[in-house]
Amino acid sequence: MKHVLTIAGSDTCGGAGIQADLKTFSAQGTYGMSVITAVTVQNTQGVFGCQDIDPEIIQGQIDAIFTDIEVSAVKIGMVSQIATIHAIADKLEQYQPKNIVLDPVMISKSGFDLMQPEAKEALISRLIPLAYVITPNLPEAEVITGMKINDLASMEQAARMIYEMGAKNVLIKGGHLENDATDLLFDGEKIVTLQSDRIQTKNTHGTGCTLSSCIAANLAKGKTVEEAVRTAKEYITTAIAHALDIGKGVGPTNHFY
Ligand code: PLP
């Protein structure tokens, strides 16, 4: 069984963050491990607070894993502040794991800043060059590139810009497009578009976390980037179709049905 690590934030209600990542790793038949970067106070109705973990403790967690266990893929999620980003980047440069999947988490669906806006430059200069795959949604790709993105042509232009920043493969998620939810994958040479029907449900909490960890798990299992992305897209589509109507707000995706 392959071992996969998530470096991300905790979501109290178990729908997003570390909890979604570990459920996805298990559902994909991999062994999940976690380095916690921040603890959010959160339920299906929103994020109400956040405690960042001390950068030294983040580095200690990373050391604890890499000095002991083989890691076949790493997913990076919520990195709330500049010091968090530098702490993680320093350690990943030291240990040089394969298959780093970066989900550049910025704002929750409920509107909470999961990454402080001033951390953007550090994300671009330290983490994007380490990413084997990066998975921004449209608003995140807009922040990273500074351009307006509203169709496939602008998605392609943004993917090329993010590739130039150092990510080896760029998956721009089209969930925020007006009509269909086409995603676009660029590997530095070819563009692949991935189509899927939009599922009508309010329960989409944790979709981005689930998709990126599913990509990481499948890279760990030896799939190519395109295969891993296609598998993850199918997985998230089914997990949304079976989403759980838990709580009073936006319910989580369902990993086991
Ligand atoms: N909480 C944590 C810790 C996250 O990492 C994320 C997304 O990456 C969220 C919340 C946001 O989840 P959503 O926007 O799907 O509600």
- In order of 98, 157, 173, 250, the CA distances from 185 in angstroms are 19, 12, 9, 28
User: What integer pLDDT is reported at residue 255 of this predicted model?
Assistant: 96
With a 6 Å cutoff on the Cβ, whether 145 touches ligand 1 is: no
Question: In this structure, are strands 169-172 and 133-134 parallel, antiparallel, or unpaired?
Answer: parallel
Per-residue pLDDT, averaged over 217-232, amounts to: 98
Using N-to-C axis directions, what is the helix angle for 17-27 and 207-220, rounded to 10°?
Answer: 40
Statement: residue 161 has pLDDT above 90: yes
Per-residue pLDDT, averaged over 135-145, amounts to: 97
Mutate to test the pocket of ligand 1, among 105, 210, 211 (most ligand atoms within 8 A of CB): 105
The ipTM value here is: 0.95
Bridge partners, residue 40, by sequence: 11, 50
Residue nearest ligand 1's atom 11 by CA: 108
Tell me how far apart the alpha carbons of residues 5 and 25 are, in angstroms, rounded to a whole number: 9
User: What are 257's two structure tokens?
Assistant: 């049905």
Statement: residue 181 has pLDDT above 90: no
Which residues have C-beta within 8 Å of that of residue 227, sequence separation ≥ 6? 218
With a 6 Å cutoff on the Cβ, whether 206 touches ligand 1 is: yes
189-219 confidence digits (pLDDT tens): 999 999 987 888 999 999 999 999 999 999 9
Catalytic residue, candidates 204, 210, 237, 253: 204
Statement: residue 179 has pLDDT above 80: no
Closest CA to 28 of 76, 73, 79, 92: 73
Catalytic residue, candidates 40, 44, 145, 207: 207
- Give the global pTM: 0.98
8-49 confidence digits (pLDDT tens): 999 999 999 999 999 999 999 999 999 999 999 999 999 999
Contact between residue 95 and residue 59 where contact means Cβ atoms under 8 Å apart: no
Q: In what order do the strands lie in the sheet with 183-186?
A: 46-52, 31-43, 3-11, 73-76, 100-102, 133-134, 169-172, 183-186, 191-194
With a 6 Å cutoff on the Cβ, whether 78 touches ligand 1 is: yes
Tell me how far apart the alpha carbons of residues 239 and 128 are, in angstroms, rounded to a whole number: 28
pLDDT band of 119, cuts 50, 70, 90 = very high
Mutate to test the pocket of ligand 1, among 114, 137, 213 (most ligand atoms within 8 A of CB): 114
Closest CA to 205 of 36, 65, 45: 45
pLDDT band of 257, cuts 50, 70, 90 = confident
Return the CATH class of domain 3-241: alpha beta
